[in-house]
């Protein structure tokens, strides 16, 4: 528990109850925010933003701002009504303090109408407070500015008025610093924040979400640390560090954006928003000439990577409606089979977003919606309105049905081809590929396989490995982009064939996870754009055809170091720029110290005569191929020393569904994208 200094006034008794209230959060943070890694860290931001989004959805806030400040501070400001500061009738404490210090106290104030956006977030801002070394709440209300500060969830004084409101109107601001004793790292990632806020902006039409990156604007940041509502500082934020998201079209704009680089098979985006079974349902869809389906599902603005009942309801209604329409218009003859679910989903981009009072999530990762009434609700809403859309847009309808008939044909042809391939035993009984350097152990539970990019790195990995339990599969070039390929084409691709045989699980209907030959499959690619692309392709491949390898936790990404730092004889490896600088400083310090001692012992010289700089050599690794076998073993393969990142369903979903501009991690192209569009259109519907 935090040992904070006792506050001055009679605050001690209160302090104890607050601690008791938030104690479980600090004891088991994972229960509240999922993890204490980077995902959990960013959850803090989502949690605070969610509260402001609720205020926006209730019709009271128009603008929500996320400021990234130096030293890992984040500030979230909205122009809502301001959290009430007056004493709560039951608890006799300021409502603001209750919201900040009581679990699940979130939206229960102000009577009735206020809605909590539940789910994985929705745990309440008090959780953020408990997990922050410092949190400051500022409220503009009744023409005053009110402030309270907390240290690991403990108030450092009462809610106080600190003078007149600074900006016109009302609002709430929360500034916090995550607790480094809780989180494995506390560095916030701009692309992650932009991705999330863009997504939230699509899901909350009409609201403006703004990110200001002020991590390199010390003077401005200092003013905001004093007051989030400082009008002078507010007016001085440069446009170049500002990212604005606002979509009048909501999820229809989201679909348009997901399809912006694709050839379309339908002009108008279909969009509906309606209530059924007390659930608010929104669906947007548009057909493309692509092969793959993109379907993103959200419940209460939370992404459900594994879909759930809302997606199920969408699918049945879609298939049923299209078959009924095609029959009625004679596009399907009496003798023709019905279109299958697969046929009607090829090339389709869909967003389903529902708001439900009591969301239930299923599965290990809580990634799947379970409410049975959501299935009926979505099916009802979509069935009615999509049938009407087809009647009103006969040309789109014709093009959509044509597209589905074509994929039915292709499906039958592909099945025939695959059956031939599989019957011929293309995979079964085939010997392990020649390029695989297998391990000697036959016990999958101790074995691992590295998928290594390129022959030269493959060579180093083969000599550097522990052959007892480590197998190496070098992959040459870019593997086939499975996004566009059908299973018959994939099976003809040699790189992929090697991979499937090495895994041992087979593929498609024959897939059997029990036959996996290694407990850990480790992807090792270079730290450059090509490496990232190959990694994305592999993730997509695994997600599409071997998803259990991911959901059962067998897929990993190796984290080779970016730098080798040497001072004197000492060698260390660094995995980031920041770490490189730390190591360098540390090594130089310890060496300087060593030299001082040496000379003091010999000649009794003073400190001033010791050289300040000591030669260091820094090597930047551009690829795995630049490391010799020993280095590769030490840094990337040795279980005692290496860093591995386990691939999550979320990683795979991102790679699969939206790895273009929307989800890509390079900021520049997207920044440009946002900015050009921001200037071109008044209502930023991109
Ligand atoms: C309950 C009641 C009222 C405002 C809020 C909650 C509120 C909460 C948050 C959290 C972040 N920003 C927020 N803005 C407002 C106001 C009730 C009233 O004024 O009548």
DSSP string, 623-657: SGGGS-HHHHIIIII-TTT--EEEPPHHHHHHHHH
For helices 394-423 and 309-328, angle between their N-to-C axes, nearest 10 degrees: 110
User: How confident is the model over 255-283, as pLDDT tens digits?
Assistant: 999 998 889 999 999 999 999 999 999 99
The CATH architecture one would assign to domain 251-410 is 2-Layer Sandwich (3.30)
The CATH architecture one would assign to domain 23-245 is 2-Layer Sandwich (3.30)
Characterise 622 by phi-psi region: left (phi > 0), alpha (psi -120 to 50), beta (else).
alpha
114 has a pLDDT exceeding 50: no
In angstroms, the CA 75 to CA 85 distance is 19
What is the reported pLDDT for 158?
Answer: 94
Share of the chain above pLDDT 90, in %: 60
Q: Which atom in ligand 1 lies closest to the alpha carbon of residue 174?
A: 11
Lining ligand 1 with CB less than 6 A are: 51-52, 55, 78, 80-84, 109-110, 114, 172
What is the reported pLDDT for 600?
Answer: 62
Residue 566 pLDDT level (bands cut at 50, 70, 90): very high
43 has a pLDDT exceeding 50: yes
Is 530 known to be catalytic?
A: yes
**By mean pLDDT, which of 183-192, 328-337, 361-370, 658-667 is the weakest?**
658-667
Residues counted in the chain: 686
Q: Is residue 15 within 8 Å of 7, Cβ to Cβ?
A: yes
Nearest CA to ligand 1 atom 18: 110
Per-residue three-class SS string for 197-254: HHHHHHHCCCCEEEEEECCCCHHHHHHHHHCCCCHHHHHCCCHHHEEEEECCCCHHHH
Catalytic residue among 213, 306, 453, 651: 453
118 has a pLDDT exceeding 60: no
φ, ψ of residue 105 to 5 degrees: the values are -85, -5
Distance 501 CA to ligand 1 centre (A): 58
Please report which helix (H) or strand (E) contains residue 586, including its range: helix 577-603
Contacts of 57 (CB under 8 A, 6+ apart): 115, 117, 204
Task: Tell me the average pLDDT of the chain.
Answer: 85
Please report which helix (H) or strand (E) contains residue 576, including its range: none
Q: Which atom in ligand 1 lies closest to the alpha carbon of residue 172?
A: 12
Q: Which atom in ligand 1 lies closest to the alpha carbon of residue 114?
A: 1
Pairing mode of beta strands 208-213, 616-620: unpaired
Of 199, 345, 354, 349, nearest in space to 285 by CA: 349
488 has a pLDDT exceeding 80: no
What is the reported pLDDT for 686?
Answer: 27
Averaged over 439-446, what is the pLDDT? 95
In angstroms, the CA 652 to CA 540 distance is 6
What is the reported pLDDT for 292?
Answer: 84
What is the reported pLDDT for 421?
Answer: 57
Of 545, 420, 411, nearest in space to 483 by CA: 545
* Strand partners for 472: 437, 450
Our measurement of the distance from residue 40's CA atom to the centroid of its chain's CA atoms, rounded to an integer in Å, reads 11
What is the reported pLDDT for 119?
Answer: 38
Is 526 known to be catalytic?
A: yes
475 has a pLDDT exceeding 70: yes
Is 453 known to be catalytic?
A: yes
Nearest CA to ligand 1 atom 8: 83
pTM score of the predicted model: 0.66
Nearest CA to ligand 1 atom 10: 51
What is the reported pLDDT for 155?
Answer: 96
Averaged over 159-163, what is the pLDDT? 95
Averaged over 228-256, what is the pLDDT? 94
Nearest CA to ligand 1 atom 20: 110
426 has a pLDDT exceeding 60: no
Of 103, 121, 112, nearest in space to 196 by CA: 121
Fold entry, domain 428-560+645-680: Rossmann fold (3.40.50)
In angstroms, the CA 595 to CA 589 distance is 10
Catalytic residue among 142, 468, 528, 598: 528
What residues does each domain of the chain span? 23-245, 251-410, 428-560+645-680
């Amino acid at each position: 528990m935090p040992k904070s200094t006792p506050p001055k006034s009679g605050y001690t008794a209160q302090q104890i109850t607050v601690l008791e209230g938030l104690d479980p959060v600090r004891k088991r943070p994972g229960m509240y925010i999922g993890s204490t890694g980077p995902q959990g860290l960013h959850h803090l931001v989502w949690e605070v933003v969610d509260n402001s989004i609720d205020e926006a959805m209730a019709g009271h806030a128009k603008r929500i701002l996320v400021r990234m400040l130096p030293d890992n501070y984040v500030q979230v400001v909205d122009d809502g009504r301001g959290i009430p500061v007056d004493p709560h009738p039951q608890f006799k404490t300021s409502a603001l303090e209750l919201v900040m210090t009581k679990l699940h106290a979130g939206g229960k104030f102000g009577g009735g109408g206020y809605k909590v956006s539940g789910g994985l977030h929705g745990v309440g801002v008090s959780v953020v407070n408990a997990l922050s070394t410092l949190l400051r709440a500022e409220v503009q209300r009744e023409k005053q500015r009110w402030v309270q500060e907390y240290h690991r969830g403990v108030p450092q004084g009462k809610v106080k008025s600190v003078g007149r409101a600074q900006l016109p109107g009302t609002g709430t601001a929360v500034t916090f610093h995550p607790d480094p004793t809780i989180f494995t790292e506390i560095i916030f990632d701009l692309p992650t924040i932009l991705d999330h806020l863009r997504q939230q902006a699509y899901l909350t039409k009409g609201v403006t979400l703004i990110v200001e990156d002020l991590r390199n604007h010390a003077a401005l940041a200092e003013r905001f640390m004093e007051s989030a509502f400082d009008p002078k500082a507010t007016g001085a934020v440069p446009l170049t560090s500002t990212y604005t998201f606002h979509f009048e079209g909501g999820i229809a704009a989201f679909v348009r954006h997901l399809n912006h680089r694709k050839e379309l098979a339908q002009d108008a985006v279909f969009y509906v928003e309606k209530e059924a079974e007390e659930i608010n349902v929104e669906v947007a869809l548009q057909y493309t000439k692509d092969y793959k389906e993109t379907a993103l599902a959200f419940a209460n603005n939370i992404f459900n990577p594994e879909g759930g009942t809302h997606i199920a309801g969408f699918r049945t209604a879609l298939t049923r409606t299209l078959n009924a329409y095609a029959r009625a218009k004679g596009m399907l003859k009496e003798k023709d089979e019905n279109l299958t679910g697969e046929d009607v989903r090829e090339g389709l981009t869909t967003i389903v977003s529902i708001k439900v009072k009591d969301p239930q999530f299923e599965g290990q990762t809580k990634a799947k919606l379970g409410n049975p009434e959501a299935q009926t609700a979505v099916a009802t809403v979509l069935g009615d309105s999509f049938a009407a859309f087809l009647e009103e847009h006969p040309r789109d309808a014709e093009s959509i049905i044509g597209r589905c008939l074509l994929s039915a044909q292709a499906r039958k042809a592909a099945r025939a081809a695959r059956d031939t391939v599989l019957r011929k035993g293309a995979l079964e009984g085939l010997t392990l590929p020649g390029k695989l350097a297998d391990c000697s152990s036959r016990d999958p539970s101790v074995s691992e396989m590295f998928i290594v990019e390129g022959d030269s790195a493959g060579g180093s990995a083969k000599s550097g490995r522990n052959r007892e339990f480590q197998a190496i599969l070098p992959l040459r070039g870019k593997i086939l982009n499975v996004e566009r390929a059908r299973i018959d084409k994939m099976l003809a691709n040699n790189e992929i064939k090697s991979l499937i045989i090495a895994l041992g699980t087979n593929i498609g209907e024959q897939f059997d996870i029990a036959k996996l030959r290694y407990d850990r499959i480790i992807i090792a690619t270079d730290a450059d754009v090509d490496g990232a692309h190959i990694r994305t392709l592999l993730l997509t491949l695994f997600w599409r055809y071997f998803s259990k390898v991911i959901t059962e936790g067998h897929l990993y990404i190796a984290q080779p170091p970016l730098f080798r730092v040497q001072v004197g004889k000492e060698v260390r490896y660094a995995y980031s720029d920041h770490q490189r600088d730390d190591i360098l400083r540390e090594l130089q310090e310890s060496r300087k110290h060593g030299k001082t001692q040496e000379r003091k012992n010999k000649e009794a010289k003073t400190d001033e005569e010791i050289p300040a700089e000591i030669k260091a050599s820094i090597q930047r690794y551009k690829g795995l191929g630049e490391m010799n076998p020993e280095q590769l073993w030490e840094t990337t393969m040795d279980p005692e020393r290496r860093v591995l990142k386990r691939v999550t369903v979320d990683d795979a979903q991102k790679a699969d569904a939206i790895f273009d501009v929307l989800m890509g991690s390079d900021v520049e192209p997207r920044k440009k994208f946002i900015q050009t569009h921001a200037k071109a259109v008044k209502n930023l519907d991109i």
